[in-house]
């Protein structure tokens, strides 16, 4: 999807492919005055079936139900005139809105939607992909790559339930997750959104998470149908991989479809298409597999586009693309700015005989059915929901911390890997005191951000997210009980027993993370990595290295020099506490590789790797 983010009070333009937003004025504007609207809808649809409701709608009203525009391009009052089926995205303020602010905003839009002459409740959608990452006050859970490294299905289901409880309290009931890509190339910028390169692991964990999420009444939206993690290098749209072509065999296609079948069997109601292509055909116009999804796999829900993906299909213009995609089986169009045109082209397409009204009716009935089953016609303000936990609950902190600790993978386990009583530990590196680095992309802003950026903004905030502890903060807090000392003053390095080197990648999302350079000192590495690596090497002390990254980066040139090395991936706001837990042996380090680890970029795609899925330096394999 497309996004703008605010940094140091300036807008930095960026573009996205799965959801984000641009702050054009205040999205979280004051609520509509109660005197301006009444709360009683003009029509009571609650006793009617979706088919009966559909028959009462004009073609224009049906087309409106098929739209999912961005909140910053649709004022709440506009819903009284054009009742869109769904709204998505968020503003880019810092700090993020609270759950209560989100609830008020969604309620305001719903109040206006119910004043439309066809008062159909709308659904709010957003990317709460590792907790409610666009709200303040909640826990940011580890990214999917960590969940794959932990491979704890019971804890993953509980995480889904906790995340669902938080999502429900914001009223953003359509959650664009889980991402069920089977990532097979670490050069891809969405690698960390994947559970594993093994589709069986992806299926197992996606089902567990989805079961938990939906238990709180939230609509899960698996993405992206299908093959987005298996792109052939060099086929991407503007970068080597993202949105490229998946060249899959029939057996690989069956494997990918089995993931979605398991989620359909679990009861998912919305599936997002992939912006990518399958064997040369854009998935958004792939009638063969969209029809297979609906007819052969038994999916009765909504087929949703990705952000403005209709624009990138094979038609000569946008109108042709809209017609192509709707005829292929698209039910709802996620669009940043083109919703008015898309509606018009649907209406024109029907009148010109290029789209059958039966196809439109099928789409609208699917949308209305999902809303019916979600209880929106009986409870449009979601007043009857009963979340299992308070927002940002203590249990969320506990589960996030445990998941993070379980996900850490030792790449080399030397005799100094654990901190012992009496030790003096020098902690250094750009990831040492940075929660933003531990969270990665899709945190607050689409691309995420480092704590350093927030500190440079001089707005009184020390961390990008305030709901956790950095590595150095957590270790300092644990030092008294553990009987060791944490040192950050470089002048004292000579008196220390070990160096804890904390390095990693800059936060990124989607194609902004596509890279040919997987080195720690390349374009995706954190500024300061090289200097910190050099300082640690020159100290003459045993070096224990922690790497916070969204993929398996190349470490081959350093491992001989380091006593130990641990992959943290992107463990979230409890990542610092989890580091303290494993380094002090409070909890065991049980994580294993969720994807192959390559010794060089040249090894990717050869069928060879340094270490394979399921490996850990603490395991005998």
Written as six digits, the tokens of 250 are: 């029939």
> Is the alpha carbon torsion for 289, 290, 292, 296 positive or negative?
positive
Which letter does DSSP use for residue 93 in this model?
-
Dump pLDDT digits (tens) for 88-124.
Answer: 998 666 778 999 999 999 999 999 999 999 999 999 9
Maximum Cα–Cα distance for the chain, whole Å?
81
CB neighbourhood size of 343 (10 A): 25
Which letter does DSSP use for residue 40 in this model?
S
Burial readout 97-113 (b: 16 or more C-beta within 10 A, e: otherwise): bbbebbbbbbbbbbbbb
For residues 96 and 510, give the distance between their C-alpha atoms in angstroms, rounded to a whole number: 21
For residues 394 and 384, give the distance between their C-alpha atoms in angstroms, rounded to a whole number: 23
Query: Tokens 């902190």 — which residue?
Result: 397
Q: Nearest CA to 297 among 349, 253, 242, 235?
A: 253
The answer to whether the CB of 333 falls within 8 A of the CB of 325 is yes
Q: Which residues of the chain are modeled with pLDDT < 70?
A: 1-39, 91-93, 620-621
Q: What is the pLDDT of residue 492?
A: 98
Written as six digits, the tokens of 4 are: 């703008």
Q: How many CA atoms lie within 13 A of 498 on its CB side?
A: 26
For residues 4 and 392, give the distance between their C-alpha atoms in angstroms, rounded to a whole number: 26
Q: What is the pLDDT of residue 92?
A: 62
Containing 346, the helix (H) or strand (E) segment is helix 339-351
Dump pLDDT digits (tens) for 287-316.
Answer: 999 999 999 999 999 999 999 999 999 999
The answer to whether the CB of 190 falls within 8 A of the CB of 179 is yes
* pTM for the full predicted model: 0.94
Which letter does DSSP use for residue 296 in this model?
I
Written as six digits, the tokens of 458 are: 């001089």
Written as six digits, the tokens of 232 are: 């052939």
Containing 348, the helix (H) or strand (E) segment is helix 339-351
CATH superfamily placement of domain 3-125+265-373: Glycoside hydrolase, family 3, N-terminal domain (3.20.20.300)
Could you tell me where the beta strands, DSSP code E, fall in 171-288? 174-175, 219-220, 223-225, 245-246, 270-273, 277-278, 281-282
The answer to whether the CB of 582 falls within 8 A of the CB of 405 is yes
Q: Nearest CA to 83 among 110, 107, 45, 104?
A: 110
∠ at Cα 424 (420, 425), nearest 5°? 90
Written as six digits, the tokens of 188 are: 């891809």
Q: What is the pLDDT of residue 254?
A: 99
How is the chain split into domains, by residue range? 3-125+265-373, 397-603
For residues 544 and 188, give the distance between their C-alpha atoms in angstroms, rounded to a whole number: 28
Written as six digits, the tokens of 613 are: 């899925």
Alpha helices in 408-461 (DSSP H): 435-439, 451-456
Cβ-count burial of 282 within 10 angstroms (0-12 exposed, 13-18 middle, 19+ buried)? buried
Written as six digits, the tokens of 59 are: 């073609």
- Phi first, then psi, for residue 545 (nearest 5°) are -105, 130
Q: What is the pLDDT of residue 305?
A: 99
For residues 128 and 144, give the distance between their C-alpha atoms in angstroms, rounded to a whole number: 12
The answer to whether the CB of 360 falls within 8 A of the CB of 343 is no
Q: Nearest CA to 181 among 250, 139, 241, 239?
A: 241
CATH superfamily placement of domain 397-603: Glycoside hydrolase family 3 C-terminal domain (3.40.50.1700)
Query: Tokens 């907790």 — which residue?
Result: 131
> Is the alpha carbon torsion for 331, 125, 76, 21 positive or negative?
negative
């Amino acid at each position: 999807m497309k996004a703008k983010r605010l940094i140091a009070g300036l807008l930095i333009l960026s573009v996205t492919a799965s959801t984000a937003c641009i702050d054009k004025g205040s999205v979280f504007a004051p609520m509509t005055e109660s005197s301006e609207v009444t709360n009683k809808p003009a029509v009571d649809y609650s006793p009617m079936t979706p088919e009966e409701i559909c028959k009462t709608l004009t073609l224009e009203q049906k087309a409106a139900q098929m739209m999912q525009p961005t909140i910053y391009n649709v004022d709440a009052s506009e819903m009284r005139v054009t009742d869109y089926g769904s709204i998505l995205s968020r503003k880019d303020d810092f700090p993020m809105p609270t759950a209560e602010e989100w609830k008020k905003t969604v309620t305001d839009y719903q109040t206006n939607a119910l004043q439309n002459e066809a008062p159909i409740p709308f659904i709010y959608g957003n990317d709460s992909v590792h907790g409610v990452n666009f709200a303040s006050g909640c826990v940011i859970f580890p990214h999917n790559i960590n969940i794959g490294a932990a491979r704890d299905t019971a804890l993953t289901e509980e995480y889904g339930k906790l995340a669902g409880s938080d999502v429900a309290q914001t009223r953003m009931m359509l959650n664009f997750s889980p991402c069920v890509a089977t990532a097979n190339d670490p050069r891809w910028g969405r690698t960390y959104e994947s559970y594993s390169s093994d589709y069986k692991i992806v299926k197992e964990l996606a089902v567990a998470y989805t079961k938990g999420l939906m238990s709180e009444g939230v609509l899960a939206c698996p993405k992206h149908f299908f093959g987005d993690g298996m792109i052939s290098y060099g086929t991407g749209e503007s970068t080597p991989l993202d949105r490229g072509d998946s060249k899959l065999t029939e057996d690989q296609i069956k494997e990918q479809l089995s993931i979605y079948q398991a989620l359909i069997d679990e009861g998912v109601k919305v599936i997002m298409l992939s912006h990518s292509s399958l064997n040369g055909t854009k998935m958004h116009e792939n009638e063969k597999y969209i029809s297979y999804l609906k007819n052969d796999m038994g999916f009765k829900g909504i087929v949703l586009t990705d952000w403005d993906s209709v624009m990138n299909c094979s038609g000569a213009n946008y109108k042709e693309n809209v017609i192509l995609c709707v005829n292929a089986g698209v039910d709802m169009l996620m669009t940043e700015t083109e919703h008015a045109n898309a509606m018009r082209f649907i209406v024109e397409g029907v009148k010109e005989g290029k789209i059958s009204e039966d196809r439109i009716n099928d789409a609208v009935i699917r949308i209305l059915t999902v809303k019916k089953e979600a209880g929106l016609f009986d409870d449009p303000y979601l007043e009857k929901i009963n979340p299992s936990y308070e927002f940002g609950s203590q249990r969320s902190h506990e589960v996030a911390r445990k998941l993070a600790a379980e996900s850490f993978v030792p790449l080399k386990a030397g005799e100094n890997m654990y901190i012992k009583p009496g030790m003096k530990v020098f902690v250094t590196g750009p990831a040492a005191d940075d929660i933003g680095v531990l969270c990665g992309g899709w945190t607050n802003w689409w691309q995420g951000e480092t704590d350093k950026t927030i500190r440079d903004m001089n707005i009184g905030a020390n961390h990008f997210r305030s709901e956790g502890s950095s590595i150095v903060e957590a270790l300092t807090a644990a030092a008294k009980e553990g009987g060791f000392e944490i040192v950050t003053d470089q002048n004292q390095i000579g008196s220390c027993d070990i160096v804890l080197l904390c390095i990693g990648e800059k936060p990124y999302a989607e194609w902004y993370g596509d890279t040919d350079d997987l080195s720690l000192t390349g374009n995706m590495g954190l500024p300061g990595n090289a200097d910190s690596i050099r300082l640690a090497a020159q100290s003459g002390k045993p070096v224990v290295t922690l790497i916070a990254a969204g993929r398996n980066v190349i470490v081959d040139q350093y491992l001989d020099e380091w006593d130990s090395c641990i992959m943290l991936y992107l463990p979230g706001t409890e990542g610092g506490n989890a580091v303290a837990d494993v380094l002090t042996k409070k909890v065991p380090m049980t994580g294993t590789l969720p994807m192959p680890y390559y010794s060089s970029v040249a090894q990717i795609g050869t069928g060879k790797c340094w270490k394979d899925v399921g490996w850990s330096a603490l395991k005998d394999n």
